[in-house]
Structure 1
Amino acid sequence: MIVPITGNVTYSITLDPTVWIFDDRKILLDEAFSKKENEQQVEDNELENASKRWNRAVYQQKINPPVNKSISRFEREKILVNSYVMPINEFVDHAEIKENATDVTLVTNKGEEHISLEALQNCYLLFALEGKPLKEEGPVHLFYKDGSNKDNPITGIEKIIIN
């Protein structure tokens, strides 16, 4: 149930989608493709990423993802019935893609899919369907933020290789 990001990156990282259900960065699948949500998120992410890069350069601090400190009973019940996606761009930024990287290979349980590096930066990973991890065709599905593959996501992603 893990997804490594490897290849032409400074830091190979491993994603564990099973813990994202408690992450504040998750987005409801139903709201992920609304234009207002995307615009606000892009603006927020750009500012947040610039801040993190500055902190890393100046203070060399370890960056910890925001995680819910406590969850009420109502929130817990809500989590267990909704479907969620996670923007992948923040994780890709932490891996620090090298300047000569050109494209991405998604290793799936059905073979390989190739997408551009820019396309990867503008994707969501579906990690929970009706509050449960994706066991079949999982651990994650890839959706483009523009919704162009909303009805036909790339499924069964087991590894992301930056070329």
Structure 2
Amino acid sequence: MEEKIIHITGKVKFTITLDPGVWIFDDRRIDLNTYFDVETKEKDEIEEYTKAASKHWDREIMEGAVVPPTLKSEKRFEKVKVMTGTFGIPFHPFLKNAEPEDDASEIIIECVDQEVKVPIAEAESIIIGFSKDGKPLNEDGPAYIFYKDGSNKNEPIKHVREFKII
């Protein structure tokens, strides 16, 4: 049976073990069907919150309060989305938790048939794909690597086994 666990090792304070099978429950998951199509911008969180709150209050003053959809329908929608979606998760939080040493400069992404070197600064923005059409990546997984700019969205790095910090 093929190993479904991925490790972060090398010049780190903490060796991290990643299990892509549990990320479907993680709130940080990204829908890869739409992620590369939408232009991502760095947002000012306070400005975004202020605009959203202002819009909400304006609507309530003009239209009155709107009853939100039922929790049951939201859960059903989320369940269908999870069972049919293609998802990834940002690599940055895992790299941060591993605490790379100060002199670490690159990450080697070890795969079954290749090794890919990526500078740490660039690696912080990669996305780890973990499901396709609602199913785990059993055939050529357990994970795919996508660059945040989408340059390899059609040909991701496959068969990922380990991230080695050098």
Alpha-carbon separation, structure 2, partners of 1:115 and 1:152? 17
Q: Secondary structure at the match of 1:137?
A: coil
The counterpart of 2:122, out of the listed 113, 119, 122, is: 119
CA drift at 1:140: 0.5
Aligned partner of 2:17 in structure 1 is 14
Aligned partner of 1:137 in structure 2 is 140
Runs (5+) with no aligned partner, structure 2: 46-73
Aligned partner of 1:72 in structure 2 is 75
Runs of 4+ in 1 over 4 A off after TM superposition: none
Q: Please tell me the residue identity of whatever aligns with 2:96.
A: D
On the 8 A contact 1:17/1:140 being kept in 2, the answer is: yes
Aligned partner of 1:51 in structure 2 is none
Instruction: Write out per-residue CA displacement over residues 49-89 of structure 1, whole angstroms, 9 at most, x where no aligned residue.
Output: xxxxxxxxxxxxxxxxxxxxxx8233212200010010000
CA drift at 1:112: 1.4
Q: 2:28 aligned with 1:25, yes or no?
A: yes
Instruction: Write out per-residue CA displacement over residues 9-51 of structure 1, whole angstroms, 9 at most, x where no aligned residue.
Output: 1100001110000111001002222223x534xx67xxxxxxx
Alpha-carbon separation, structure 2, partners of 1:134 and 1:4? 17
Q: Return the index of the structure with the highest Cα Rg.
A: 2
Q: In the comparison of the two structures, how many residue pairs are matched? A: 135
Aligned partner of 2:111 in structure 1 is 108
Aligned partner of 2:163 in structure 1 is 160
Alpha-carbon separation, structure 2, partners of 1:117 and 1:32? 22
Aligned partner of 2:39 in structure 1 is 35
Alpha-carbon separation, structure 2, partners of 1:149 and 1:112? 16
Alpha-carbon separation, structure 1, partners of 2:121 and 2:103? 13
Q: Secondary structure at the match of 1:80?
A: helix
The counterpart of 1:83, out of the listed 86, 91, 101, is: 86
Q: 2:149 aligned with 1:146, yes or no?
A: yes
Cα-Cα RMSD: 1.8
Q: Secondary structure at the match of 2:93?
A: helix
Runs (5+) with no aligned partner, structure 1: 45-70
- The alignment's TM-score, normalised by the length of structure 1, stands at 0.77
Alpha-carbon separation, structure 2, partners of 1:75 and 1:149? 28
- The alignment's TM-score, normalised by the length of structure 2, stands at 0.76
Alpha-carbon separation, structure 1, partners of 2:156 and 2:18? 19
More strand by share: 1
Alpha-carbon separation, structure 1, partners of 2:127 and 2:78? 22
CA drift at 1:152: 1.5
Aligned partner of 1:3 in structure 2 is 6
CA drift at 1:149: 1.2
Q: Please tell me the residue identity of whatever aligns with 2:154.
A: D
